[in-house]
Structure 1
Amino acid sequence: MKLSFPSSYHYYTKVQSPNLLPEIPRFAARGPRWRAHMDYSTTTTTRRHRRKDNNKVIVVMGATGSGKSRLSIDLITRFLPSSEIINSDKMQVYKGLDITTNKIPSEERLGVPHHLLGEFDSADPELTPSKFRSIASSVISDIASRRKLPFLVGGSNSFIHALVVDRFDPESDPFDRSHSISSELRYNCCFLWVDVSFTVLSDYLCRRVDDMLDSGMFDELAESYDPNEDDSVPRTGLKKAIGVPEFNRYFQKYPPDGGKRRGMMMIDDDTNPEEDVERRACYEEAVKAIKDNTCQLAKRQIGKILRLRAAGWDLRRLDATEAFRAVMVASDAGERAAAVWEKQVVEPSVKIVKRFLDE
Structure 2
Amino acid sequence: MASSCAAAHRRLRPLVKVFAIVGATGCGKSRLSMDLASRFPCEVINSDKMQLYRGLDITTNKIPLAERHGVPHHLLSSFDPNDGEMTPLRFRSIGHAAISGIASRGKLPLLVGGSNSFIHALLVERFDPEAEVFSGLGSAASPELRYDCCFLWVDVSPPVLEEYQSKRVDKKLDMGAFDELAGYHDLRRTNTGGWTCLRKAIGVPEFDRYFMTYPPPRGVGLGDGWRREDARMREDDPGRDGAYKEAVRKIKKNAVELAKWQIMKIERLRGSGWEMHRLDATEAVRLKMAAKEEGGGRSREVWEREVVEPSVKFVERFLLKKQVACYLS
Q: Same fold (TM over 0.5)?
A: yes
Deviation at 1:288, TM superposition (A): 0.5
Q: Which residue of 1 aligns with 2:244?
A: 283
Deviation at 1:51, TM superposition (A): 8.8
Amino acid at match of 1:196: V
2:82 to 104, 123, 128: 123
Counterpart selection for 1:202 from 162, 170, 190? 162
Query: In structure 2, how many angstroms separate the alpha carbons of the residues matched to 1:266 and 1:51?
Result: 63
1:308 and 2:269 matched: yes
Identity %: 57
Please give the per-residue CA displacement for 1:13-69, whole angstroms capped at 9, x wherever unaligned: xxxxxxxxxxxxxxxxxxxxxxxxxxxxxxxxxxxx969661000101100011001
* CA deviation vs aligned residue, 1:289-326 (integer Å, no higher than 9, x gap): 10100111011101111111111110000000010111
- 2:73 corresponds to 1:114: yes
1:147, distance to aligned residue in structure 2 (A): 1.0
Q: Which shifted more, 246-255 or 87-96? A: 246-255
8 A contact 1:84–1:148 mirrored in 2:
yes
Question: Residues 311, 255 of structure 1: CA spacing in aligned structure 2 closer, same or farther, 3 A cutoff?
Answer: same
Alpha-carbon separation, structure 2, partners of 1:76 and 1:243:
30
2:117 is equivalent to residue 158 of structure 1? yes
Pair 256,90 (structure 1): closer, same or farther in 2 beyond 3 Å = same
Deviations 1:125-164 (A, max 9, x none): 1011110000010111111111111000001000100000
| Contact 2:291/2:297, CA 8 A, preserved across alignment | no
For 2:12 and 2:145, the matched residues in 1 are separated by 5
Per the TM alignment, residue 357 of structure 1 is displaced from its structure 2 partner at its CA by 0.6
Structure 1 distance, partners of 2:231, 2:118, is: 37
- Give the letter aligned to residue 105 of structure 1: P
The one-character-per-residue Cα deviations of 1:259-309 (angstroms, maximum 9, x if unpaired) are: 8725373777xx994xx1111111111010101001110111011111111
What is the CA–CA distance in structure 1 between the aligned matches of 2:274 and 2:227, rounded to whole Å?
50
Q: Secondary structure at the match of 1:203?
A: helix
Query: Are positions 1:261 and 2:226 aligned together?
Result: yes
Q: Distance in 1 between matches of 2:99 and 2:169?
A: 33
Map 1:140-289; keep pairs closer than 5 Å: 140-178=99-137, 179-225=139-185, 226-227=188-189, 236-257=196-217, 261=226, 263=228, 265=230, 273=236, 276-289=237-250
One-letter code aligned to 1:261:
W
SS at match of 2:62: coil
Deviations 1:222-244 (A, max 9, x none): 111113676xx9x9521100000
Equivalent AA in structure 2 for residue 140 of structure 1: I
What is the DSSP-based 3-state SS (H/G/I as helix, E as strand, rest coil) of the residue aligned with 1:90?
coil
Aligned to 2:3: none
Q: Which residue of 2 aligns with 1:298?
A: 259
Q: Give the counterpart of 1:353 among 288, 294, 315.
A: 315
Partner Cα separation in structure 1 for residue 213 and residue 155 of structure 2: 39
Secondary structure in structure 2 of the residue aligned to 1:227: helix
Note the C-alpha offset of 1:181.
1.2
Matches of 1:199 and 1:53 in 2, distance apart? 43
Normalising by the residue count of structure 1, what TM-score does the alignment of the two structures yield? Answer: 0.80
Provide the alpha-carbon RMSD of the alignment.
2.2
Distance in 2, Cα, partners of 1:124 & 1:89 = 17
Aligned: 1:58 with 2:23: no
Q: Secondary structure at the match of 1:215?
A: helix
Report the Cα distance in structure 2 between the residues aligned to 1:219 and 1:157, rounded to whole angstroms: 29
Amino acid at match of 1:127: M
1:331 offset after TM fit, Å? 1.9
Secondary structure of the residue that 1:278 maps to in structure 2?
Answer: helix
Higher relative contact order (CA closer than 8 Å, sequence separation 6+): 1
C-alpha distance in structure 1 between counterparts of 2:133 and 2:196, whole Å: 21
Give the aligned residue type for 1:125. Answer: G
Q: Aligned partners of 1:264 and 1:336: how far apart in 2?
A: 38
- Residue identity matched to 2:269: L
Alignment TM-score, normalising by the size of structure 2: 0.87
Q: Aligned pairs, how many?
A: 302
Secondary structure at 2:277 match in 1:
strand
SS of the counterpart of 2:173? Answer: helix
